[in-house]
Amino acid sequence: MRLFDVTNNFRDLVHNQLAGTDAKLVKVYSLGNLTVIYTKAPTHEEILLKSDHRNIRDDEIEFVVNNLTNAKPNQVATIHGKNIAEVSITLPIAQ
């Protein structure tokens, strides 16, 4: 599996995310036939995995989390839906 940065193909999405949320970074990746949207804010990270044809597998979620973040398992919460998965990662608050 390989992640390909396709952020330039999603300029409107990136612009709207940066303008309408607390996100400081938005990147879009392709993982085969999956689209992966990675968003980083000061207190959390969000990863959305989307497929047009099938459900997202746990090994794909694990691969993306391991390659895009330094999250520990106790920081990660995952929600599965039909052809979609959302990963929320709580970041430690800097003191």
Fold (CATH) for 4-90: Streptococcus thermophilus LMG 18311 protein like (3.40.1720)
Predicted model pTM: 0.88
Residue 94: the pLDDT is 52
Is 95's pLDDT higher than 50? no
- Cα 71 from Cα 34, distance rounded (Å): 21
Domain spans in the chain, listed from the N-terminal domain onward: 4-90
- Cα 72 from Cα 4, distance rounded (Å): 24
Sign of the dihedral defined by the CA atoms of residues 35, 29, 88, 70, in that order:
positive
Q: What is the pLDDT of residues 74-89, one digit of tens each?
A: 888 999 999 999 999 9
Residue 74: the pLDDT is 81
Q: What is the pLDDT of residues 9-66, one digit of tens each?
A: 999 989 988 888 888 999 999 998 999 999 999 889 999 999 999 999 999 999 999 9
